[in-house]
Amino acid sequence: MDKVDPRRQIPRTNDLLALPAVHEARTRLSERVIRELVREVQARARRGDIPPGQVESALLAAVAARRATTLRPVLNATGVIVHTNLGRAPLSAGAVEALVAASGYVDVELDLADGRRSRRGAGARAALLSACPAAEDALVVNNGAAALVLATTALAAGREVVVSRGELVEIGAGFRLPDLIESTGATLHEVGTTNRTHLRDYAGALGPATGCILKVHPSNFWVGGFTSAVPLDELRSLADANGVPLVADLGSGLLEPDPHLPHEPDAATALASGADVVIASGDKLLGGPQAGLLLGRKEAIERLSRHPLARAVRADKLALAALEATLAGAAPPVVEALHADVEQLRRRTDRLAQALGAPVVEHEGRVGGGGAPGFALPGWAIRLPEGLAGLLRTGDPAVVPRVHAGSCLIDLRCVPERDDDRILEAVRHALAALGTASAGRAG
């Protein structure tokens, strides 16, 4: 008698789709995704990877594990506050609440009192001006690079942007400011040298073809030694004498001076020093959503906002809502991590280290995200075997440590204290898995 092909015992698609748990999953997953999961499990059974009798349980496990996004939340144990690879700034509770509120219909461009169209993002603009009174007006776009593109396009397209050679930086993912600026149709007029630029260099470059003077803070590197740069207040006098606007790109997001970062520029000081337009970041040191902030003189900001490109780079309702809540709400996680109490960090670190039987070492945190390059934040870390790093990153929860000098380092600076026990359990699970793997290799 012929044997029955076991593949005939694989449950039919309609039967699997009718399972209660699969039906319930339609509230969070699309029909297309659910059917893909069904086909994948059936294909595993046809290949012989699982027996037909396990198809249903395998599908239920796959449906339960599947999320609508592939992005995974992680616990940042690197000590780097604004970690670009981890999404830069974690949002405050107020900003998250604002995001949820803005996810539906909101009055982003509507005056509810009279039913007429209103200025987009009026709340975020008002919050910016309240947080930075030195600015006469403000405009929010989708990121810092877009802010620079808009400023140079509106002020200098078809003309020259005068900038120091020492400030032509390369930002993340290989994007270079010279390429970015020239893509706007402006021409770069470089002055000075890599390490030294003087006022006379700018003066010699200005003329009828000048669109603007650009001052860029080299936020992701520093040059020491025999150096010279021209401060904004001296450039202001030169700009006034030649009738050209002065733009300052801070590369970060401080709106006012921070004593913890004495060498990091801020928008209030740059405006007081004479900048017509200051470009800052909504995430990074401000601690909000990704956004490009343009602050400055009313006439200059209005000129930028009227340019057609402003529509192409405008911020969406979610960014506007989160930015306003970041500015008006309690201190965001970035600010808390930057100003963390070192002794409290030590106590937290000691508690976890004692529970794990691991040593505590001094560890310097960093601002990250191109901010305050080379500036160390004193702190502590738990030193663990290097082999734990991969297990921690792929565990649940995912923990991202720092791997350095043959060790896996757990720095709690960027970890909310409420998550300390989650870190502890994650490390214990990783240690157990590492021990099991080592025993298996030995056997």
- Tell me the β-bridge partners of 232: none
- For residue 262, CA distances in Å to 216, 268, 278, 293, 346 come to 18, 14, 19, 22, 24
- Looking at the fold, whether 49 and 136 belong to one and the same domain comes out as no
Residue 4 lies in a domain: no
Ramachandran assignment for 143, one of left (phi > 0), alpha (psi -120 to 50 degrees), beta (any other) = beta
- Cα distance between residue 248 and residue 239, in whole Å: 13
Alpha-helical segments (H) within 170-231: 177-182, 199-205
Query: Of 279, 299, 330, which residue constitutes the final position of a domain?
Result: 330
Residue 3 lies in a domain: no
3-state secondary structure of 379: strand
Number of domains in the chain: 3
Same domain, 222 and 278: yes
Both 105 and 233 in one domain: the answer is yes
**pLDDT above 70: residue 442:** no
pLDDT tens figures, 67-125? 999 999 999 999 999 999 999 999 999 999 999 999 999 999 999 999 999 999 999 99
Can you tell me whether residue 234 is helix, strand or coil?
A: helix
5 within some domain: no
- Banded model confidence at residue 435, pLDDT cuts 50, 70, 90: confident
Do 202 and 268 fall into the same domain? yes
Tell me the percentage of the chain whose pLDDT exceeds 90: 85
As a whole number of angstroms, the distance between CA 347 and CA 344 comes to 5
Q: Are residues 287 and 188 in the same domain?
A: yes
CA dihedral 401, 176, 302, 205 (to 10 degrees): 140
Q: Please tell me the pTM assigned to this model.
A: 0.91
For the domain that residue 280 is a member of, what is the CATH number?
Answer: 3.40.640.10
| Domain shared by 192 and 308, yes or no | yes
Measuring CA to CA, how many Å separate 177 from each of 78, 163, 231? 29, 11, 20
Give the burial class of 36: count Cβ atoms within 10 A of its Cβ; 0-12 exposed, 13-18 middle, 19 or more buried: middle
**Residues of the domain holding 57:** 10-65
Residues 321 and 420 in one domain: no
300 assigned to some structural domain: yes
Antiparallel, parallel or unpaired: β 277-281 and 246-249: parallel
Residues 405 and 425 in one domain: yes
Span 182-221, pLDDT tens digits: 999 999 999 999 899 999 999 999 999 999 999 999 876 7
Pair (59, 97) in one structural domain: no
Same domain, 78 and 17: no
Task: Report yes or no: 315 and 88 within 8 Å, Cβ to Cβ.
Answer: no
State the DSSP string of 245-297. Answer: -EEEE-SS--SS--TT-TTS--HHHHHHTT-SEEEEESSGGG-SSS-EEEEE-
Residue 173, pLDDT > 70, answer no
Q: Is the pLDDT of residue 2 over 60?
A: no
> CATH number of the domain that 387 lies in?
3.90.1150.180
Residue 239 lies in a domain: yes
Q: In angstroms, rounded to a whole number, what is the distance separating the alpha carbons of residues 19 and 56? A: 9
Q: pLDDT grade, residue 251 (50/70/90)?
A: confident
Q: Which amino acid, 254?
A: L
282 plus 200 within the same structural domain: yes
DSSP string, 27-56: TTS-HHHHHHHHHHHHHHHHHTSS-GGGHH
Q: Pick the residue with more confidence: 260 or 245?
A: 245
Q: Are 378 and 254 in the same domain?
A: no
